[in-house]
Amino acid sequence: MNAKIDKTMKMLGKYYIPLILAVFSVVSFLFGASSIYQKNLNIREGQLADETIRANKTVENKEETEEKRRLAEEAVVPEYTFNANKAADQQDLINRLFGLVNEVNAEAKKKYDEAKQNAKDKEVVTEPSIEEKMAMLKSKLESISQDDMAFFQSFQDAFYKQLLNFSSSDLKTLQEKSLDIVEEAMARHIRQSTLESEMQRAKDQIQYLGVSSELQQAIRIIVNSSIVVNEVANEKATEQLRKNARENVQPVMIYQGEIIVRESEQIDAKAMKKIKLLGLNQQTTSIIPMISLACLIVLQLFLLMILLKPQSNQAKMKRDVTFYTLSMTIAIVLMKLLQILQNDTFDYIALLFPVAFVPLMLIIFISRRTGMLASIFQGIFAIFIFYDLAGTTALLSIAMNYAFNGVMATFLDKKRIGYQLKQASLLLIIVPTVFTAILLTYQGLNFFDSRTLTSILCSALGGSFAFLLSIGLHPYVELLVTDDSVIVLNELSNPNHPLLKRLLQEAPGTYHHSMMVASLSANAVAEIGGRTLLTRVACYYHDIGKIKHANFFVENLPTGAENPHKFLLPGDSKEIIFSHVTEGVKILKKEQMPQFVIDVCQQHHGTTLMRYFYVKAEERDPNVKEESYRYPGPKPQSREAGVVNIADSAEAAVRAMDNPTNEKIKEFLHDLIKSRLEDGQLNETGLTLNELEKVEKSLYDGLCSSFHSRIKYPKMKSEAERMKQEQEERGL
């Protein structure tokens, strides 16, 4: 918890927890009661409103919605489809008409010519009559397809006879003029409503063609049959447009808090319909739900205190109570916001609530039991927050989803979601979504209905929000709740941190020793599943107290410098060495370092014996007590501190060895751990023998890689001598 809250805790003392619980109770009750409370109103149409009447919930005004949809349908302009090929089709029919006439004329002439050639002397051969030509033409028309027959049947026999009487030049003129007029007319979009005007327009052009009246009359007949509708109403497309227009009309909603009638205004029929729709003219508020809500809040706090009471650390208990109540308050506020946004067309918007987020944070930062408590009460609070849905299956689904999703979150491990992505995805997103689908199917809803699919999508989104929030907000929640968050540790691990820069400048040997211990300890802690980053940072600062008397520690002495302890009494040396722990704790507290870093600094020597100076003191005074030459402690209180205790001594000792071999390192490390166990230095760390074995192996690997002896390989030596000899021979 941040410094300001800690200061408030100390200032209020024993009144802090009761005050926090009281504030939480009031806030929870107010948010819940705002959904339950309903005011009685005596309203009649035509009267003046005594006060401003606001909507008590969000509902759809279905009557107005339907009216808007009807108007939208009527406003749709019918869709038409233009047939660009229709002009070519009509021109083709005209060409076929004249083609048939020309064929009949050609055949009649051929028949006449043949008859003349075959006629006997003085035999009179008459040309084929119009009736004969008509008979020939009709026989040809019989081969016309049914689709085109309507065009040819539109002409009377008199017109055909007229065509058969025209000369070939007249027929050619008639054909060309008719085609030109039809082509020009059919290039335009002709609907049934504009067909008559287009025909009249074409007929008006005929009188300016400069042909005989007989030809003009024939052209009019052809044009009258050839100009047809080429743009027809597309009923299917128009119907789809009407449907789209209807669907695009947003439901007319009466939103919670919306003003229905202002004070002193007359209540008209429209306002009265809204009032009846909202049920404001007949609703009553029962006191029972209010009492139930109050009892629910008391029950939750009672259970919370039972779960947290066993703690002996009152400061931690205060932080846990604060974090729980703050988390639940945020959850209730979010529920209320979703309840305000909810409407009849979107009943399951409540499923967007990231249910698993609060239980997850409580599991990680307090305990699994508090996470379980929050998950259950989130579901129960939903019944009061979404009170408008009372009596509907939607409320049952929301409450069960909240409880179920929260419980799913409590099955996750007590660690960052980023370390358990697969399991978290399954329990926070996939399983709750499947559960929602099962609930909706149980209610008899069509699985492929749009509202059902929307509800399932909302459930998936709610789980996804919880998943993403747990990953994204974890460092910031950690920053508020603990003093050793990742953000803080990353800052402290920066080599440019003022304390580390000061350590490097004033005690360079200690700085490098601290870096080595940090690497060794972090690797060993990782092997036993401990907090590696926290351990690494703690090691960076564990010897920070040495900056006060840097030259009294051998690693900081310049090459060739005499050890100053040769000129001091053992007791004085002891005090200087001891002081690096106490002074380090003071410096770290002043810098407001995380408590764990302070603890490691204080515990990294435990209560071990400063054997060298104790032996020196015993030589001078056999009655000297061993306890006076032991570090003040306390002994390491955590697994990580225990590992640092071993790594610190091992690194310093191996660095001081002459020609450290792998065998020497292994033997020394084993004896060191054995002596710490026998001395009871690791009794309070919680380290098991199996874990100590892993720690020993990790430290051995790390020390060997850093301090192994360099071996002279004979082959490399002879190669160097050979190269030197060659250079001498060349005169180099």
Q: Are residues 504 and 642 in the same domain?
A: yes
pLDDT score of 680 more than 50: yes
- Give the confidence band of 390 by pLDDT, cuts at 50, 70, 90: low
pLDDT score of 668 more than 80: yes
State how many domains the chain has: 3
Cis peptide before 622 (omega within 30 of 0): no
Higher pLDDT, 510 or 712: 510
Q: Are residues 522 and 655 in the same domain?
A: yes
**Bridge partners of 169?**
none
Give the structural domain span for 31. 3-35+285-481
Q: Are residues 505 and 469 in the same domain?
A: no
Distance of CA 308 to the CA centre of its chain: 34
Report if residue 74 sits inside a domain: no
265-311 per-position pLDDT tens digit: 888 888 888 877 777 665 555 677 788 889 999 999 999 988 887 66
Residue 213: CB atoms within 10 A of its CB come to 8
364-377 per-position pLDDT tens digit: 888 899 999 999 99
pLDDT score of 520 more than 90: yes
Q: Are residues 517 and 477 in the same domain?
A: no
Residue 332: CB atoms within 10 A of its CB come to 23
What Rg do the C-alpha atoms of the chain give, in angstroms? 49
> What is the pLDDT, as a whole number, of residue 715?
42
Q: Are residues 431 and 516 in the same domain?
A: no
Higher pLDDT, 153 or 707: 153
> What is the pLDDT, as a whole number, of residue 717?
47
> What is the pLDDT, as a whole number, of residue 121?
64
580-613 per-position pLDDT tens digit: 899 999 999 998 898 889 999 999 999 998 888 8
Please state, in angstroms and rounded to a whole number, the distance separating the CA atoms of residues 142 and 149: 9
Q: In sequence order, which ranges of 227-266 are alpha helices (DSSP H)? A: 235-248
Please state, in angstroms and rounded to a whole number, the distance separating the CA atoms of residues 420 and 470: 12
> What is the pLDDT, as a whole number, of residue 709?
47
Q: Which of 261-275, 349-363, 624-638 has the lowest mean pLDDT?
A: 261-275
pLDDT score of 30 more than 50: yes
Distance of CA 25 to the CA centre of its chain: 32
79-123 per-position pLDDT tens digit: 888 888 888 888 898 888 888 888 888 888 888 777 777 776 666
Name the helix (H) or strand (E) containing 332.
helix 314-341
Q: Are residues 516 and 664 in the same domain?
A: yes
Q: Are residues 546 and 657 in the same domain?
A: yes
Inter-residue contact 52 to 264 (CB < 8 Å): no
Q: Are residues 643 and 687 in the same domain?
A: yes
Report if residue 732 sits inside a domain: no
Report if residue 352 sits inside a domain: yes
> What is the pLDDT, as a whole number, of residue 391?
53
- Give the confidence band of 74 by pLDDT, cuts at 50, 70, 90: confident
Report if residue 247 sits inside a domain: no
> What is the pLDDT, as a whole number, of residue 308?
84
Residue 624: CB atoms within 10 A of its CB come to 17
Domain end (from 421, 450, 481): 481
Q: Are residues 453 and 365 in the same domain?
A: yes
Report if residue 426 sits inside a domain: yes
Give the burial class of 571: count Cβ atoms within 10 A of its Cβ; 0-12 exposed, 13-18 middle, 19 or more buried.
middle
Q: In sequence order, which ranges of 76-167 are alpha helices (DSSP H)? A: 86-118, 130-141, 146-153, 157-165
In single-letter form, the type of residue at position 199 comes to M
Q: Are residues 12 and 149 in the same domain?
A: no
CATH of the domain at 585: 1.10.3210
Report if residue 385 sits inside a domain: yes
Report if residue 94 sits inside a domain: yes
Report if residue 148 sits inside a domain: yes
Which one of 79-83, 539-543, 627-631 scores highest in mean pLDDT? 539-543
Q: Are residues 527 and 636 in the same domain?
A: yes
Q: What DSSP character marks residue 346?
A: B
Q: What DSSP character marks residue 510?
A: H
Q: Are residues 465 and 524 in the same domain?
A: no
Long-range contacts for 186-191 (Cβ within 8 Å, ≥24 apart)? 186/86, 186/87, 186/90, 186/91, 186/226, 186/227, 186/228, 186/230, 187/87, 189/80, 189/82, 189/230, 189/231, 190/227, 190/228, 190/229, 190/230, 190/231, 191/80, 191/229, 191/231, 191/232, 191/233
The two tokens of residue 372 are: 């379980």
Mean pLDDT, all residues of the chain: 83
pLDDT score of 29 more than 70: yes
